[in-house]
Structure 1
Amino acid sequence: MGRRVLVGRSTPAFSTEVERGRLRFFARAVGQTEAVYSDLEAAAAVGHRDLPVPPTFLFCLEMDNPDRGKFLDDLGIDIRTVLHAGQEFAFHSQAYAGDTLTFRTEVRDVYEKKGGALEFIVRDTHVTRDGTPVATLTSTIVVRDPKADRR
């Protein structure tokens, strides 16, 4: 497999707007019952300029990338050999409904286990608002070598 050469490679950036309706739906879906995530008055009462983005909602917005499957396609990776192995979030500033956020992903690390049968690709997605850091989303995927099943 040997994809170590990918370290430092970036995907094209994309931007998406945070919509209030999606924030409210997400808050309900994940059981976030605090009014600050659904009611503008409650949000303003605690100092927010609009509905705040719940922490893991940024992962959902990352899925808005119109070319999200292109990274794996360009590498010739069959999606059936991929597992999501981990997700981490580092927050730098609060995002709100109405913000336009930009997402840029780069490969931070690639390493193998089990004699190359499993390849781990670690990617950092940098989320910004007008150039100001909002968060860094780190995801790790595992690519299984289909040939390793026949060894």
Structure 2
Amino acid sequence: MPLDRSLIGTKSPGLVVDVERGRLRFFAKATGQTDPVYSDRQAAKAAGHRDLPVPPTFLFCLSMEVPNPFEYLEELGIDPVTVLHGEQAFEYLAQAYAGDTLTYTTTISDIYDKKGGALEFLVRTTDITRDGEPIGRMTSSAVIRNNTGKEGAE
């Protein structure tokens, strides 16, 4: 069943997440960051940061800080086994740091289809703020495989 295009503009309840130093250090180690500003508070301060900076893409990890990060699919009536990760983009507007409290607000920004409806694209945009100040924006698309019998159509 096709996604209802009237869902475009729908916002999810906001998510509030605290950025913890230990998680930043773990992420830096796991992703091979060798720059000490990501793991040593004194090195970060010496480099002009007020605390450990949030490394690129860690904002996405924080967005998964909910019991079921894919609950939105179920709420939309989408079977998770039909979903593929489509695309993801990040826009950084200000540096986030350990100790920050970030708010995530996600909006369904587009829904479109390809291949005669065999593939639907659900695009979500997440705005990240700290005390109302824009920190970043993440855009991701999920591809939903529909069994329409028109898989060869364009």
Q: Same fold (TM over 0.5)?
A: yes
Separation in 2 of the partners of 1:104 and 1:5?
19
Unaligned residue ranges in structure 2 (runs of 5+): none
Runs (4+) off by over 6 Å: none
Normalised TM-score (structure 1): 0.95
The amino acid that maps onto 1:53 is V
Partner of 1:115: 116
Normalised TM-score (structure 2): 0.93
Does structure 2 conserve the Cα–Cα contact (< 8 Å) formed by 1:102 and 1:128?
Answer: yes
The amino acid that maps onto 1:120 is F
Structure 1 residues 133 and 78 mapped into 2: Cα distance closer, same or farther (>3 Å)?
same
Residue 5 of structure 1 and its aligned partner are, at CA, apart by 1.5
Does structure 1 conserve the Cα–Cα contact (< 8 Å) formed by 2:106 and 2:127?
Answer: yes
Separation in 2 of the partners of 1:16 and 1:33?
26
Structure 1 residues 149 and 32 mapped into 2: Cα distance closer, same or farther (>3 Å)?
farther
Q: Is 1:97 the equivalent of 2:129?
A: no
Separation in 2 of the partners of 1:136 and 1:36?
23
Measured against aligned partners, the alpha-carbon deviations of 1:32-70 in whole angstroms (never above 9, x if no partner) come to 110000001110001100000001000000000345322
Say which SS state the counterpart of residue 11 (structure 1) adopts: coil
Unaligned residue ranges in structure 1 (runs of 5+): none
Separation in 2 of the partners of 1:78 and 1:53?
33
Separation in 2 of the partners of 1:26 and 1:11?
27
Separation in 2 of the partners of 1:125 and 1:66?
18
Does structure 1 conserve the Cα–Cα contact (< 8 Å) formed by 2:103 and 2:130?
Answer: yes
Measured against aligned partners, the alpha-carbon deviations of 1:1-45 in whole angstroms (never above 9, x if no partner) come to 143211101100010100101000001111111000000111000
Q: Tell me how large the CA RMSD over aligned residues is.
A: 1.6
Does structure 2 conserve the Cα–Cα contact (< 8 Å) formed by 1:81 and 1:146?
Answer: no
Structure 1 residues 2 and 107 mapped into 2: Cα distance closer, same or farther (>3 Å)?
same
In percent, how many aligned pairs have the same letter?
A: 56
The amino acid that maps onto 1:21 is G
Separation in 2 of the partners of 1:50 and 1:8?
35
Q: Is 1:9 the equivalent of 2:7?
A: no
Range that drifts further, 63-72 or 73-82: 63-72
Q: Is 1:32 the equivalent of 2:33?
A: yes
Show the 5 A alignment for 1:2-81: 2-66=3-67, 68-81=69-82
